[in-house]
Chain A
Amino acid sequence: DTEVTQTPKHLVMGMTNKKSLKCEQHMGHRAMYWYKQKAKKPPELMFVYSYEKLSINESVPSRFSPECPNSSLLNLHLHALQPEDSALYLCASSQSGVQTQYFGPGTRLLVL
């Protein structure tokens, strides 16, 4: 089973709201990722967790706050977003040190 699940599928939020995106995998992968994808563009890496520790932060604004509660779960907390943050947010996972990443279906976020 190579499934990564994400909730919610769609999210609309105002610029003053606080919301969270959730991601789950049960493949025993120890690396988990958040990506942002705009229309007609490839995914852009935001954060990488390895063994539940943040190992890469691609200079993402602090209004995005990742959290890895355990080896199967990854959250992305959102606060005071801007309309330009509207995008498809993708979670992915991989075995540690292995390059093949498996993506979830994404959360389509609209910031009003």
Chain B
Amino acid sequence: QKEVEQDPGPLSVPEGAIVSLNCTYSNSAFQYFMWYRQYSRKGPELLMYTYSSGNKEDGRFTAQVDKSSKYISLFIRDSQPSDSATYLCAMSDSGGSNYKLTFGKGTLLTVNP
């Protein structure tokens, strides 16, 4: 079993739809959870960062972490064509000297006008 599982899609939705992107993980030590957006041929851009369980909202984006189920989600409301990108979840198990992120494979999202 991979440490982080993410459905690679592709996911295609109409403009204005609510998008739900998800990752599951097996390492119960993970405490730090991130979502990155990566446009084609560009570097990943940090979208959301959550520590431990709970929800975090930033504009049209909401990140949820359920540590009991080892499941994280990113919701995009009122999706726009400019949201078309690959979304990567990433997680880590501690602060201090541990600098390693474990990434999901990424989900390719297309929002159609």
With both beta carbons as reference points, the residue of chain B lying nearest to A32 in the complex is identified as: B99
- Find chain A residues with CB under 8 A from B44 CB: 43, 90, 103
Closest CB of chain B to A9's CB: distance in Å? 10
* Interface size of A as a range: 20 to 34
- Find chain A residues with CB under 8 A from B97 CB: 50, 55, 97
- Find chain B residues with CB under 8 A from A45 CB: 100-101
With both beta carbons as reference points, the residue of chain B lying nearest to A97 in the complex is identified as: B95
Task: Give the CA-CA distance A94 to B42 in the complex, in Å.
Answer: 19
Q: Find out whether the CB atom of A105 lies under 8 angstroms from the CB atom of B43.
A: yes
* Interface size of B as a range: 20 to 34
- Find chain B residues with CB under 8 A from A94 CB: 99
Which B84-113 residues have a C-beta within 8 angstroms of A?
A: 88, 92, 95-97, 99-101, 103-106
B32 within 8 A of A: yes
- Find chain A residues with CB under 8 A from B101 CB: 45, 99, 101
Using a CB–CB cutoff of 8 Å, the interface residues on chain B facing chain A are 8, 32, 34, 36, 41-46, 49, 88, 92, 95-97, 99-101, 103-106
Taking A103-B36, A103-B44 as known contacts, 14 extra A-B pairs with beta carbons closer than 8 A to each other, sorted by chain A number, are: A2-B46, A31-B99, A40-B8, A41-B106, A42-B106, A43-B44, A48-B100, A55-B97, A55-B99, A90-B44, A99-B92, A100-B46, A100-B49, A106-B42
